[in-house]
């Protein structure tokens, strides 16, 4: 890239020098075109204006005296030298009779369109120029025809110039006087148009500009080709001796597995001594990394075993506590004591469920799945429900993952809400749903609804005794308000999720 950038200004300078040479040649050609065009237009304007002035004088004289022979003779004398190459003139009276000169095709029509001594012109492609004029009183009309050959001889520049194309232009009409055929499709031309000052006519001259030849194209492209060749050669050298060996070395290093070392045979195939030394450094580094990885792997195995042992002991301890509570509940003498033991056992079971699922999901590092946690929790609640109760639990849970800091309060909140419903109605039908929060990708809505949770005196008393404070404390742990709809008996809270299964 550095070499390419360094050589590029030289190539650009060479290209601009060639373009400047071509531009100078075009400028000289356009200057010669302007001089030749001005000379041709001046000669043509003088001749046409002089002839039409003489014709206009004859028309005015014959209008005063139709038998004025000298005026007609003077007009014939003006056009006499031009008649040999086809120039004609004619003068008509009001009835369209030729009173002087010889009529020619289109003469009467072009003469009748002239008004108030203003010359009217018509271009006849391939033939020449028709000019018409009328007297001041429209008693006489004159017309003149100038063939293309006459106009070509008249407008030929005096100096020796290159080939050109000459055309008379009036509006959208065009009469080609001297044609210049195109030599190629890529031919470029310069044009110059000059107003003749008579009948709205203008003379347009075209000349060829400096042609786009093969030598010009080569002169323009050669610096760029040399720059591209230099850049390509430098790229090939750098790629062959530096980039490709480095890429090969990187690929070989990336393909190494833990515990492997770089093959010395690979290093011997590298061209540059510096890159071989770099490969030897990587080989020594891989040996050191392999030793450290072996030590880390051994430490990780010991740490995993220790973690599993701790979780196993915590799970066993929770199961022992749950079993002890169950044994004491069986020996209780009153239903109130039995119910108190069952309430405590449900909370221990909730904590055990969360702990068990947390350890199962810990190895995958995805978080805890709320659907299996709440499903197992519902099974435990049904198992510990008072005898004779007909509590029903309906679950509609989407498979969300949450962290342990969210899972524990959720498990206790579900337990408290279900137990509150059971305390208000022994045959409570409870529905638990977990759905995405509208418009929030990282939140979900947990709803616990039951007819037993519709506001009543029993519900208010239970909330004031214990359940209200506990549920409010759990909502503070979740950092979200616990909404209560007294009309339908529903608790709802927004929780933070980690994702979907």
Residue 275 pLDDT: 73
Place of tokens 């075993």: 305
The DSSP element (H or E) to which 401 belongs, if any, is: strand 400-402
State how far the Cα of 181 lies from the Cα of 164, in Å rounded to an integer: 9
Place of tokens 């003498």: 333
Place of tokens 């028309």: 59
By CB neighbour count within 10 A (0-12 exposed, 13-18 middle, 19+ buried), where does 146 fall?
buried
Question: In this structure, what DSSP letter does residue 4 have?
Answer: H
Length of the chain: 501
Cα distances (angstroms) measured from residue 64 to each of 57, 60, 101, 208, 498: 11, 7, 18, 52, 113
State how far the Cα of 446 lies from the Cα of 214, in Å rounded to an integer: 81
Question: In this structure, what DSSP letter does residue 470 have?
Answer: H
SS3 385: coil
Cα distances (angstroms) measured from residue 359 to each of 182, 330, 352, 478: 90, 31, 11, 21
Residue 238 pLDDT: 80
Cα distances (angstroms) measured from residue 486 to each of 93, 221, 352, 433, 462: 116, 86, 32, 18, 15
* Nearest CA among 143, 108, 113, 114 for reference residue 129: 143
Handedness of CA 165, 169, 172, 175 (dihedral sign): negative
Cα distances (angstroms) measured from residue 320 to each of 308, 315, 339, 348: 18, 9, 19, 10
State how far the Cα of 184 lies from the Cα of 195, in Å rounded to an integer: 30
| pTM to 2 decimal places | 0.43
Per-residue pLDDT of the chain (501 residues; tens, 9 = 90+): 777 777 777 777 777 777 777 777 777 777 877 888 888 889 888 888 888 888 888 888 888 887 778 888 888 888 887 878 889 899 988 888 888 888 888 888 888 888 765 888 988 888 899 999 888 777 788 999 999 888 888 888 876 566 788 899 988 888 998 888 887 776 778 888 889 888 888 999 888 776 666 666 676 677 778 878 888 888 888 877 777 777 877 777 777 776 666 666 666 666 667 777 777 777 777 778 777 877 888 888 888 777 777 766 666 666 656 665 665 566 566 777 666 767 776 777 776 776 666 655 554 556 778 888 888 888 877 777 776 677 888 999 998 888 877 888 888 888 888 888 888 887 888 999 999 998 888 899 999 999 988 988 888 888 887 788 888 888 888 888 999 998 899 999 999 888 886
Residue 444 pLDDT: 92
SS3 192: strand
Helix boundaries (H) for 180-272: 214-238, 244-254, 264-268
Residue 135 pLDDT: 82
Contact between 467 and 424 under an 8 Å Cβ cutoff? The reply is no
Residue 490 pLDDT: 92
Residue 363 pLDDT: 47
Q: Which residues pair with 174 in a beta bridge?
A: 169
State how far the Cα of 131 lies from the Cα of 154, in Å rounded to an integer: 16
Measured CA angle at 37 (ends 36, 41), to 5 deg: 120
Which residues are CB-contacts of 416 (< 8 A; sequence separation ≥ 6)? Answer: 467, 470, 471, 474
Q: Residue 71 CA to chain centroid, in angstroms?
A: 80
Task: Specify the long-range contacts of residues 97-103, CB closer than 8 Å, at least 24 apart.
Answer: 99/62, 99/66, 99/72, 99/140, 100/58, 100/62, 100/71, 100/72, 100/75, 100/76, 101/72, 101/75, 101/76
Q: Where are the domains of the chain?
A: 29-212, 215-299, 332-500
Contact between 453 and 441 under an 8 Å Cβ cutoff? The reply is no
What does the DSSP assignment read for 130-163?
A: EEEEE-TTSSEEEEEEEEHHHHHHHT--SS----
Residue 102 pLDDT: 86
Question: In this structure, what DSSP letter does residue 196 have?
Answer: -
Which residues are CB-contacts of 10 (< 8 A; sequence separation ≥ 6)? Answer: 223, 227
State how far the Cα of 428 lies from the Cα of 448, in Å rounded to an integer: 12
Phi, psi angles (nearest 5°) of residue 421: -65, -40
Cα distances (angstroms) measured from residue 238 to each of 1, 4, 235, 252, 325: 10, 13, 5, 20, 79
Place of tokens 């709205």: 200
91-129 burial by CB neighbour count: b if 16+ within 10 A, else e?
Answer: bbeeeeeebbbebbeebbebbbebeeeebbbbbbeeebb
- Please report, in angstroms and rounded to a whole number, the separation of the first and last CA atoms in the chain: 50
CATH class of 332-500: alpha beta
Place of tokens 């929780």: 495
Question: In this structure, what DSSP letter does residue 241 have?
Answer: I
SS3 282: helix
State how far the Cα of 57 lies from the Cα of 33, in Å rounded to an integer: 36
């Amino acid at each position: 890239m550095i070499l390419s950038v360094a050589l590029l200004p030289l190539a650009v300078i060479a290209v601009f020098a060639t373009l400047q040479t071509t531009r100078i040649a075009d400028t000289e050609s356009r200057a010669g075109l302007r001089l030749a065009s001005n000379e041709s237009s001046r000669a043509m304007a003088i001749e046409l204006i002089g002839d039409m002035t003489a014709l206009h004088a004859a028309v005015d004289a014959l209008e005063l005296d139709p038998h004025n022979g000298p005026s007609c003779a003077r007009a014939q004398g003006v056009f006499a030298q031009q008649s040999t190459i086809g120039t004609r003139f004619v003068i008509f009276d009001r009835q369209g009779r030729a009173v002087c000169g010889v009529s020619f095709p289109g003469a009467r029509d072009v003469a009748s369109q002239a008004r108030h001594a203003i010359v009217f012109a018509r271009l006849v492609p391939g033939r020449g120029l028709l000019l018409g004029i009328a007297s001041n009183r429209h008693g006489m009309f004159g017309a003149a025809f100038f063939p293309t050959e006459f106009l070509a001889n008249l407008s030929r520049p005096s100096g020796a110039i290159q080939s050109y194309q000459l055309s008379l232009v009036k509006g959208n009409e065009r009469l080609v006087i001297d044609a210049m055929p195109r030599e190629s499709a890529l031919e470029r031309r310069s044009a110059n148009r000059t107003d003749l000052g008579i009948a709205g006519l203008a003379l347009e001259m075209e000349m060829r500009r400096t042609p786009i030849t093969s030598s010009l194209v080569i002169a323009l492209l050669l610096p760029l080709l040399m720059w591209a060749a230099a850049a390509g050669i430098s790229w090939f050298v750098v790629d062959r001796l530096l980039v490709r060996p480095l890429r090969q070395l990187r690929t070989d290093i990336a393909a190494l597995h833990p515990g492997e070392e770089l093959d010395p045979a690979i290093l011997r195939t590298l061209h540059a001594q510096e890159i071989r030394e770099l490969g030897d450094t990587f080989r020594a580094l891989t040996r050191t990394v392999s030793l450290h990885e072996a030590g880390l792997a051994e430490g990780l195995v010991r740490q995993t075993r220790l973690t599993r042992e701790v979780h196993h002991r915590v799970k066993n301890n929770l199961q022992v506590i749950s079993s002890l509570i169950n044994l004491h509940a069986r020996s209780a003498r009153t239903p109130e004591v039995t119910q108190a033991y069952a309430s405590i056992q449900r909370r221990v079971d909730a904590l055990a469920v969360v702990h068990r699922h947390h350890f199962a999901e810990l190895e995958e590092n995805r978080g805890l799945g709320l659907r299996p946690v709440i499903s197992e929790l519902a099974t435990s609640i049904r198992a510990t429900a008072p005898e004779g109760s007909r509590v029903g639990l309906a679950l509609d849970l989407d498979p969300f993952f949450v962290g342990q800091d969210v899972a524990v309060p959720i498990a206790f909140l579900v337990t408290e809400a279900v137990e509150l419903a059971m305390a208000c109605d022994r045959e409570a039908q409870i529905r638990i749903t977990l759905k995405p929060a509208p418009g929030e990708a990282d939140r979900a809505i947990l709803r616990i609804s039951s007819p037993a949770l519709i506001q009543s005196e029993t519900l208010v008393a239970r909330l004031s005794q214990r359940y209200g404070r506990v549920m409010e404390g759990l909502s503070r742990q979740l950092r979200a308000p616990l909404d209560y709809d007294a009309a339908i008996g529903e608790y709802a809270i927004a929780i933070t999720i980690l994702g979907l299964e």
